[in-house]
Amino acid sequence: MRWSVIVERPLPQDDPKQRRPDIRLVRAQLDWVPTVPLREGLVRTIVYFETLLRAQGAEVQRYPGAFNAA
């Protein structure tokens, strides 16, 4: 199994402590709004990457307390 190395570095001074995504700009300039609810989009993303990793022979484990994406 391959592992990535995690390198921790200090955050930049201007890095927000809590991110609050705002789609008003993309809505105004591109007339775009999301059509998939956030939770469903997250579940789809998790399932996609789990499937991709399994196809590459990786063992995929969910952590205790993780929501059920199946």
Q: What average pLDDT does the structure give for the chain?
A: 87
The residue written with tokens 């999301």 in the block is 34
Say if 42 falls within a structural domain.
yes
Say if 38 falls within a structural domain.
yes
Say if 54 falls within a structural domain.
yes
Say if 17 falls within a structural domain.
no
Report the C-alpha gap between 70 and 40 in whole angstroms: 11
The pLDDT assigned to 25 comes to 92
Both tokens assigned to 14: 């201007």
Q: Under DSSP, is residue 29 helix (H, G, I), strand (E, B) or coil?
A: helix
Say if 25 falls within a structural domain.
no
The pLDDT assigned to 52 comes to 94
Say if 50 falls within a structural domain.
yes
Asked if residue 51 lies in contact with residue 60, where contact means CB atoms within 8 angstroms, the answer is: no
Both tokens assigned to 19: 């991110």
| Ranges in the chain, pLDDT < 50 | none
Total count of domains within the chain: 1
Beta-carbon contacts of 50 under 8 Å, excluding residues fewer than 6 positions away, are 60, 69
The pLDDT assigned to 61 comes to 84
The pLDDT assigned to 9 comes to 93
Domain interval for residue 49? 34-59
